[in-house]
Amino acid sequence: MARPSTAMITISRMMATTFMSAPSSTNRSITHGYRRQRLALLGLATLVLLTVALGAWQFSRAMGKRALADAYARALAQPALPWRGGIVPGDFRRVRLHGQWQPANELRLDQRIANGRVGVEIVTPFRLDDGELVLVNRGWLPADATVPPPAGNDVELARWPRFFELARTPPVGNLFQNIDPTRYAAWRGGAEPVAYARALGEQPPFVRESGPPGLPPERHLAYAATWWGMSLIGILLCLRFYRSNRPTGARDDLA
C-alpha cells in the first residue's frame, strides 16, 4: 500500500481538526448555558427560602403580639393598684400614683404623630412617696399648644418606648427624640426613673393612646401571608424554569 504524501496527511489533519473542534465549541456553549441556568435557578430558590423565613418571622411576631394583647387585657381587667413606691408592678398594670407631680422637669418627645398630624408627646415626672421617680406620658399635643397641668393620678405602666434613630441624639432644651432612664438622669441629674407609664382617662386637648403598643397581630399575619404568597409564586417559577430548561432527552424520558 502506498504511503500517503505529506500534503494528504496535512489535509487530513486539518479536516479532523475542523470536524472535531465544531462539536467541542458547541459543547462549551451548551455547558456555559446550563451553568447560567443553574445559577439562575439557585438564585430563585434562595429568594424562595428568604421569603419563607420572612413569613415565619412575621408569624412569630403575630403570635408574640397576640400574647401581649392577652396580657394587656388581663391587666386592664384588674382594679387600679395604689402605688407609693417599692416593687414596680408588671407591664400594663393600672396603678394610682401617690406622691407629687413635677411639671418643672417636664419634657417633650418630638416628631410624634396622632390622627395624621405631627406634634409632641408630653412626659411629666411624678415623684412617689418613697422618693422614686416615674415618667408619665400624658399624651399628644400640637407642638405649639399650651400644656395643661396634670389632672388625675391613674396611669398604666408601660414599656419604655423605642424609636429608630441613626445616632444618639442629645436633647435640645426639654425636647427629646427618644427617652429612657439613662437619658433622663443625664439630663436632670439624680437617680434614674424606675418606671414609665401612660396617663389614663380623657383630658382635652391631649390625644392619648390605649391598648398594647405596636402593630396589631392581624397586621403581622397579613405580612406573613404576603411573604408566603411570594414564596408560592417563587416555587411555581422554579418548577416552570426547571421543566422548561431540562435537556430534551430528559424530558422525553420522563414523558
Distance (Å, whole) CA 121 – CA 110: 7
Residue 158's contacts (CB-CB under 8 Å, 6 or more residues apart) are 91, 92, 137, 196, 197, 198, 213
| Position 133 pLDDT exceeds 90 | yes
Q: What is the DSSP letter of 244?
A: H
Q: What is the largest CA-CA distance in the chain?
A: 123
Q: 84 and 135 share a domain?
A: no
Same domain, 75 and 119: no
On whether both 118 and 181 belong to a single domain, the answer is yes
Is residue 53 a part of any domain in this protein?
Answer: yes
Tell me, yes or no, whether 156 and 195 share the same domain. Answer: yes
- Structural domains of the chain, count: 2
- pTM (2 d.p.): 0.68
Q: Read off the C-alpha cell for 221.
A: 399575619
Tell me the percentage of the chain whose pLDDT exceeds 90: 52
99 occurs within a structural domain? no
pLDDT of residue 147 exceeding 60, the answer is: yes
Return the closest-CA partner of residue 187 out of 168, 209, 204, 215.
Answer: 168
How many CA atoms, within 13 angstroms, populate the side-chain half-sphere of residue 135? 28
Q: What pLDDT was estimated at residue 16? A: 38
Confidence band (pLDDT; 50, 70, 90) for 140? very high
Q: Is the peptide bond before 205 cis (omega within 30 degrees of 0)?
A: yes
- 212 contacts: CB under 8 Å, gap ≥ 6: 65, 68, 69, 71, 72, 92
Residue 153 shares a structural domain with residue 238? no
The CA distances from residue 50 to 40, 44, 219, 231, in Å, are 15, 10, 20, 8
Nearest to 237 by CA among 96, 43, 99, 69: 43
153 pLDDT tier (thresholds 50, 70, 90): very high
Examine residue 29 and state whether it is found in any structural domain, yes or no: no
| Segment 177-229, tens digit of pLDDT | 999 999 999 999 989 999 999 999 899 999 998 777 777 888 899 999 999 99
For 54, the domain range is 36-92+214-245
* 209, part of any domain: no
C-beta of residue 63 within 8 angstroms of C-beta of residue 48: no
The string of pLDDT tens digits covering residues 66-103 is 888 888 888 888 888 999 999 999 888 999 999 999 99
In a domain, 6, yes or no: no
Cβ(235)–Cβ(48) below 8 Å: yes
Task: Answer whether residue 204 is part of any domain.
Answer: no
Does residue 109 sit in the same domain as residue 184? yes
Q: 194 with 115, same domain?
A: yes
Give yes or no: residues 177 and 218 share one domain: no
Is residue 241 predicted with pLDDT exceeding 80? no
Same domain, 170 and 225: no
Residue 10 counted as domain residue:
no
- Cell (9 digits) for 200: 389614663
Count the neighbouring beta carbons within 10 Å of the beta carbon of residue 200: 18
CB-based burial, 57-93: b 16+ in 10 Å, e otherwise: ebbebbeebbebeeebeebeeeeeeebebeeebebbb
Considering the domain architecture, whether residues 78 and 117 belong to the same structural domain is answered as: no
Distance (Å, rounded) from C-alpha 213 to C-alpha 159? 9
The answer as to whether 252 is a domain residue is: no
198 or 252, higher pLDDT: 198
pLDDT 10s digits, 3-28: 444 543 443 444 334 334 444 455 55
